[in-house]
Amino acid sequence: MNKNIKFNIIVLILLGSSNAFSQQLPQFTQYMFNTISINPAYAGSRETLSIVGLHRSQWAGLDGAPTTQTLSIHSPLKNKKIGLGLSFINDELGFENFSYVYADFSYTIDLGEATKLAFGLKGGFTSYSIDQELRGAESNDPAISNIEDQWNPNFGMGLFLHSNRWYVGLSAPRILNNDYNGSENYGALERVGYYFTGGVVVDINTDIKFKPSFLIKMTNGAPLSYDLSGNFIFNEKLWLGAAYRFNESAGAFGAIAAFQVSKQLRIGYAYENPVSDIRPFSNGTHEVLLLFELVKSKRVKSPRYF
């Protein structure tokens, strides 16, 4: 069967299903560089203005496969205990589209000379829509015809405990259970998701460091998901590593590379290969990341690994 036809049939089955569909936040291979998207307590933690842009093409080669774009900006204020951020996520899957626009606030307290604990709040709006082409083609389907473009408010919170060598975070970026349709035949639901993250940097020698990290994601109505990664850092310039994601039904292997072009700019790329039934129909997942920071000569006493 043609892979494009096969994927569109899968999407149509999901849309016409009598079971509710539980929407999760997008997943990223380079989650360790995009923490602000899931944890508001991260805002301002890099001690400077930080801008992150990311594009993810999942299951490349399939017509209607998921694509995600994110853009976030965050910075500490003059009172460095307070951080502010703003993020936008656009997530498309087949004929479905979710857009997220959220603001972040964090407050940090010093627990010791190098250890800090930040509390964060996130608030904003989520938009859900169905492609007009599908709505017109399936206008007689009550599971689809009643779905309208709409924006619904939501909020989240998080904790971020860190030093310049390790971190752990716990967050729930969306707390309200929003039903975007209200139909008994089809429900697009934004459910509560919990994220537990962590990482550490270990010196191998004066030029090489090793940075393992993890992300555990739990969403009501979805299987528990685990992301594990490890990156080697060479001369504070080149990052090379691998990643593995798995849950009870699927998994994926990935490779990560990043290069610190200058003090202000880092470029990252990740490739991911699925371990599931969709593997024969996909050319893998590609992810490109740009990190820009307004670095001043006196602002940071040590490199920021998180």
The pLDDT of residue 62 is 80
- Domain annotation covers residue 301: no
Question: One-letter amino acid identity for 170?
Answer: L
> What strand order describes the sheet that includes 178-179?
21-23, 188-190, 178-179
> CA-CA distance, 41 to 162, in Å (whole number)?
11
By DSSP bridging, strand 188-190 and strand 21-23 are parallel
Q: Which domain holds residue 212?
A: 3-293
CA distance 53 to 61: 23
Q: Kind and range of the H or E element at 64?
A: none
pLDDT at 5: 44
Q: What's the structural domain count of the chain? A: 1
Give me the pLDDT at residue 3, please.
44
Q: What is the mean pLDDT of each run of 10 residues along the chain (306 residues)?
A: 45 40 72 93 95 92 86 94 96 87 97 94 91 57 60 94 96 84 57 92 96 92 89 96 87 94 95 80 89 72 72
CA Rg, the chain, in Å? 20
pLDDT of residue 299: 47
Q: Does 304 reside within a domain?
A: no
Answer yes or no: are the C-beta atoms of 117 and 161 closer than 8 Å. Answer: yes
Whole-number Å distance between alpha carbons of 252 and 250 = 7
Where would I find the beta strands (DSSP E) of 95-250? 96-110, 116-130, 150-162, 166-172, 178-179, 188-190, 193-200, 202-203, 208-219, 225-234, 238-246
- The first and second tokens of residue 15, run together, are 């849309």
Residues 31, 197 contacting (CB under 8 angstroms): yes
Sequence-distant (≥ 6) Cβ neighbours of residue 48 within 8 angstroms: 75, 76, 293, 294, 295, 296, 299, 300
Residue 260 CA to residue 267 CA, distance in Å, equals 7
Do residues 263 and 280 touch, judged by C-beta distance below 8 A?
Answer: no
Is position 303 within any domain?
no
Res 189: pLDDT: 65
Q: pLDDT at position 24, please? A: 63
**Token duo for residue 130:** 């169905």
Decide: 84 and 25 in contact? Cβ < 8 Å.
Answer: no
**Among 89, 86, 96, which Cα is nearest to 126's?**
89
> Does some domain include residue 118?
yes
Give phi and psi for 33, each to the nearest 5. -100, 0
Please state the pTM of the whole predicted model. 0.86
CATH number at residue 33: 2.40.160.40
Q: Residue 221 phi/psi, 5° resolution?
A: 90, 5
Residue 305 lies in a domain: no
d(CA 111, CA 240): 32
Question: Do 289 and 34 contact (CB within 8 A), yes or no?
Answer: yes
In a domain, 302, yes or no: no
